[in-house]
Amino acid sequence: MNIVDSKVINTKYGLEMYLDLVKTIEVKELHSPTDIGPFYEIVLGVEYFLLRDRKYYDSERNYFRLRMSDDFNSITLKETDTESLFAVKTEHERDSTKLLIGQWLIKTNAFKEVICQLIQQKKIQNVQNEGDIQKALGTITFLEKLLELKIEDILTADVEERDN
């Protein structure tokens, strides 16, 4: 790892330092379209170091949802109900977090490796019927689309607050 592979965001609580390491990216949930929710969704956790005044630091992991329509044409970022990457941040800090995702996270080797591992798991998954096959193929396509995301895709995406 190289320090240039990191990203830092200045918040009112201190500096958040993100590193390009596979262990810092977690896939908490992965959803396919249903009658209730007609979209693909992945809940990603990102670990970072919070550097505070007087050189105190601690690692934290926070999450966000990345939703994609079932036709793969629109993207939405959404706060999670707890431990949200966007929560308790000013509007400027939320914009910086969105930039972090668009300009850095989706381009990191760690993100790409985690998504590629998921694709491989889905490809070897034992499916029993035509419906499961179609669901698995759709999920694989969604994951492949995540690898193709561009900065503009994230920067133009809406950020929805969590449900109250």
| Alpha carbons 119 and 149: distance in angstroms, whole number | 16
Q: State how many domains the chain has.
A: 1
Give yes or no for residue 39 having a pLDDT over 90: yes
In the structure, what pLDDT confidence band is assigned to residue 52 with cuts at 50, 70 and 90? confident
- What is the model's pTM? 0.90
Both structure tokens of 105: 């996270």
Domain span at residue 135 reads 3-160
87 confidence band (pLDDT: 50, 70, 90): confident
**Strand-pair partners of 26:** 45
How far apart, in whole angstroms, are the C-alpha atoms of residue 106 and residue 143? 12
- Pick the closest to residue 153 from 99, 115, 109, 95 (CA basis): 99
